[in-house]
Amino acid sequence: MFGAQTRTAHMPKPVSRPIRGFTLIELLVVIAIISLLMSILLPSLRKAVGHAEAVQCSTQLKAWGVALTMYMNDYNECMPYAEATKHLSQHLSLSSDGAESARFCPTSYKEVNPKDAYDVRHAVYLSNYWVFAYSGANVFLKQIAAPDRTIGMLDRNRYELSYGAGFTTYPDASQRIGFPHFDNCNSMFVDGHVEAVPISAMSVDYILRE
């Protein structure tokens, strides 16, 4: 019994080995692999985000198209005035905050332009000057020859500041049109439908080319 205790007391303790860290070369290899994976995945992620933004923008414009139809039903097919979203927002089933955010494409900046009397911001949706009258004259649906080809509301250039009443456009303002969705401009037509319009199909008078 005593011999067993003596052997146990003098048994060597296990040697603890120090934890080995990564070498510089191993860390560089890991960083290189992560960078490679990011370079592969990021374009796909950006494209997915871009598609999501385009869908959200299109959905918002469709809501404005429904609001436009309701407005015309209430006012004997008379079009709203130039600040279109201001006049149509009462026909949207949204809170005041929701109606405000629906005025902007998700790709837009939300910086306030203090020089604009209507507090219009970067990249707010444009309204067609010739459809939504600015001077106070009434425009009726029957006066528009091709409602299905005439754009009523569309994306604006995110870098342009609004002027005048903000939501109006002028014959020389074609450069204010934005094409943020894979070189397409989401556009709501007078008949209420929405299309992604390429640059090649856009004309200065906002009527699609044949």
- Helix (H, G, I), strand (E, B), or coil: what is residue 75? coil
The pLDDT tens digits for 111-132 are 444 443 333 333 357 666 666 7
Asked, for residue 81, whether it belongs to a domain, the answer is yes
| Closest listed residue to residue 53, CA positions, set 116, 108, 15, 109 | 108
| Closest listed residue to residue 46, CA positions, set 107, 108, 109 | 107
pLDDT value of residue 195: 92
| Closest listed residue to residue 187, CA positions, set 135, 149, 145 | 149
pTM value is 0.66
DSSP string, 103-138: TB-TTS---B-TT-TT--BTTBPEE-TTTS-SSS--
pLDDT value of residue 193: 92
**Which residues neighbour 81 within 8 Å (Cβ) at sequence distance 6 or greater?**
87, 132, 133, 134, 136
- Residue with tokens 């005035």, as numbered in its chain: 81
| Domain tally, the chain | 1
Range of the domain at 109: 25-201
pLDDT value of residue 110: 52
CA 123 to chain centre: 9
Asked, for residue 18, whether it belongs to a domain, the answer is no
Asked, for residue 209, whether it belongs to a domain, the answer is no
State the amino acid at position 80 in one-letter form.
P
pLDDT beneath 50: ranges in the chain? 111-123, 160-172
pLDDT value of residue 56: 92
pLDDT value of residue 140: 87
CA 45 vs CA 52, 56, 105: distances in Å: 11, 17, 19
How far is the C-alpha of 86 from the C-alpha of 71, rounded, in Å? 12
Decide: 124 and 156 in contact? Cβ < 8 Å: yes
